[in-house]
Amino acid sequence: MMQTLETDVLVVGGGATGAGCVRDLAMRGIRAVLVEKGDLTHGTTGRYHGLLHSGGRYVTKDPQSATECAHENVVLRRIMPHCLEDTSGFFVITPWDDPDYGDVFVANCRKTGVPVQEIPVAEALRREPALNPRISRVFEVPDAAADSFLATHSNALSAREHGALILTYHSVVDLLREGDRVVGAVVEDLRSGEHRPIRCAFVLNAAGAWAGKIAAMAGVTVTVIPGKGTMVAMNHRMVNTVINRCKLPADGDILVPIRTVAVIGTTDVHVPDPDVYGIEPDEIQFMLDEGEKLVPGFQHYRALRAWAGVRPLYKDQDVASDRDISRTYKLLDHEQRDGVAGLLSIVGGKWTTYRMMAQEAVDEIARKLGNTTPCRTHEELLPVPPTEAPGHQASATPRLMFWMGKPLADVEREHAYGDLICECELVTKARVQAAIDSGAANLDDVRRDVRMGMGPCQGGWCIYRTAALLFEQKQASGLTNANTNAALLHFLQERWKGLTPVLWGDQLRQARLDELIYVGLMGAHRLREHAEQGGGLVTDHPAVATEYVKA
C-alpha cells in the first residue's frame, strides 16, 4: 500500500461534473483531488451528442431543467468560447408532429426564460436548404455545439493551475468509514495495480451513472437509472444549425452539427448496469428513419460510427418512464439523508448544467469547511489545453468561439500540411505529441484529446502513425515496443466496437480497407505475442474494456 494522500475533498468522477467541481474547489483555495477510473471524459461526458442546450427541449416536461439550461447557456458562452460553436438551433414542426404544440412551446419558453423567436419557414429553408421543406413552423433558440472533451480538459487544466491533483486511471476500490463518517477512500492505480489510501474531510461523489456504485461503498443507496442513449455520427454537416423536432422529447429527434460531422440522437433505454450495454440494429435504423423526417435523403449519407452513453438519471420517486425522470440535478448530503457524514453526491443533471451543479455542491462543502471564498467559475475564462495550440501562447490570441474552418486555418497558418497525422480531422504531429506528453494512457486517450481517428477512415492511417509516435516519444521513459503494440491492438478494437453497428456502404468498404492495411500490409495480428500492457499505459483492464457487449 502506498503512502496515504491527504486532502480536503476527494472528487470521484472525471466527467464534466467532476472536473467542474475540482476546478471550483481549487479556485476557492480548497485542497482537492479528483480520481477517475478511466481517462477524463471516459464515461458519459465523452459519449454524448455535443449539444449546448438552450433549454428548449425541456420547457414543457421539465421546466426547472429548461431554466437551468438557459442560465448556463449564457455562462458557458462566456467562460469557454473555444469549446463552443455558435450554430444556433431550430425547433421545427414536421408533418409527423402535433401542429398545436408550437404555441405551447413558445409559451413555455417564455415561462422558463428560454429565448425563442419564430422565423418564417422560407428563411429557415434558406439557411438550411437540406431541411425537410414540408416543415410548417420553425422556432429559433440559442442552441450551440459543444466539444465536451475539450471543455473537461480545460476545467481540469484550470483546476491543476489552482493546485488540484487529478488522477486518471485511478479506480475507487473502497470508501473508508469511521463510525458514521466517510473519511476517505482507497483507490487503485490501474497503471501499476497499486492501492493508495486517500484521507479527506469530504468525498464528493460526481460519478454520474456510476454514482450508485460509489455510494454503495459507504453503505448508502443512491438510485441512478443508467439511461442508455445511442447516437450516430454522419459524415456530413448536412445542416449547420442544431435541429430539434418541436414536440415532447423522444428518440432520434435532435441533429447536432459538430466539427465535421452531424450527430443524430438519441434513444433512451434503461440498462441495468452502466458498464454493460450494446447497440441494437433497430436503434440505428430508427434513428436513420427519424433523420429522414428532418433531412430527406438522410439515410443515404455515410454513417461513420455509433456509440452510446448512459445518462445519470436520478430517481427519487416513481415515474412512468425513464424519459419522464427529471433532467434536473440534485445534491445529496448523505449526513442529512442517510446519517453518513463526509459524503455528498451530485446526481442527475446535464452537460449544459455541469458548472451550476459543481457550484451548488462546492458551496455546500465550502460552508461545511468554513470557507467563505465566493464561487468564480462563472466569471473566469477557462484556459486552452496545450493539445489545442502547442507552441503557442494560447492566452495571447483573442479568444473566439470555435468555427468549422478553424482546424484548417490553424494548419494553414502553421504550414502543417506535411505534419498531418490524422488527415480526416486535421490533427498535426505537434498536437498528437502534446496529447502524448499530457499523459495519455492509450491511443483512445489521444483520440479524446485531439479527435485523431474520429473521421471517415476511423484510424486507418493515424493509428499506425500515432502508435509509432507514442513509441518514439516514450521509449526513453520505459515504454517498450510490446507496450506500443498493445496500445495499437487496443485502439484498433476500440474503433471496431463503434463501427459494427453502422457498417454498410462506404463505411463497410473503409473497414475492409483498414483490414487490408492492418492485417494485410502491417501484419498487426502477428504481433499479439509481442504485445503487453505497461510502460505507463492502460490497454488491458476492465476499465478500458473493448469487448463488444451484445445486449
The SS3 assignment for 261 reads strand
Cell of 249: 422529447
Q: Which stretch binds another protein (CB under 8 A): 42-50, 264-272, 436-444, 488-496?
A: 488-496
Residues ≥6 apart with Cβ < 8 Å to 230: 265, 266, 267, 269, 279, 280, 283, 284, 287, 306, 307, 308
Closer residue to another protein in complex, CB, 165/513: 513
The SS3 assignment for 307 reads strand
The site for another protein, by CB under 8 A, has a size of 58
Interface with another protein, residue 480, by CB under 8 A: yes
Closer residue to another protein in complex, CB, 169/464: 464
| Shortest spacing between CB 234 and another protein, in angstroms | 12
> How would you classify residue 137: left for phi > 0, otherwise alpha for psi between -120 and 50, otherwise beta?
beta
Which residues within the stretch 396-435 sit at the binding site for another protein (CB under 8 A)?
415-421, 429
List 127, 173, 296, 299, residue binding another protein (CB under 8 A): 299
| Shortest spacing between CB 362 and another protein, in angstroms | 43
Closer residue to another protein in complex, CB, 399/512: 512
Closer residue to another protein in complex, CB, 412/437: 412
| Shortest spacing between CB 240 and another protein, in angstroms | 24
Question: Nearest to residue 354, comparing CAs of 75, 112, 9?
Answer: 75
List 281, 297, 391, 478, residue binding another protein (CB under 8 A): 281
Which residues within the stretch 48-107 sit at the binding site for another protein (CB under 8 A)?
none
Which residues within the stretch 505-524 sit at the binding site for another protein (CB under 8 A)?
505, 508-509, 512-513, 515-524
Beta pairing partners, 172: 187
Interface with another protein, residue 461, by CB under 8 A: yes
Interface with another protein, residue 179, by CB under 8 A: no
Residues ≥6 apart with Cβ < 8 Å to 264: 49, 231, 232, 234, 252, 254, 255, 256, 287, 288, 290, 291, 298
List 25, 200, 220, 467, residue binding another protein (CB under 8 A): 467
DSSP string over 387-431: TTSTTS-GGGS----B-TTHHHHHHHHHT-GGGEEETTTTEEHHH
Bond from prior residue into 387 cis (ω within 30 degrees of 0): no
Beginning with the edge strand found earlier in the chain, give each strand of the sheet holding 144-146 in spatial order: 51-52, 144-146, 84-85
Q: Which residue do the cell numbers 462543502 mark?
A: 365
Closer residue to another protein in complex, CB, 269/467: 467
Closer residue to another protein in complex, CB, 522/543: 522
**Residues present in the chain in total:** 551
Interface with another protein, residue 292, by CB under 8 A: no
List 345, 484, 533, 539, residue binding another protein (CB under 8 A): 484
Residues that bind another protein (CB under 8 A): 281, 285, 288, 299, 303, 415-421, 429, 461, 464-465, 467-469, 471-472, 475, 480-482, 484-485, 488-489, 492-493, 495-496, 500, 503-505, 508-509, 512-513, 515-528, 530, 547-548
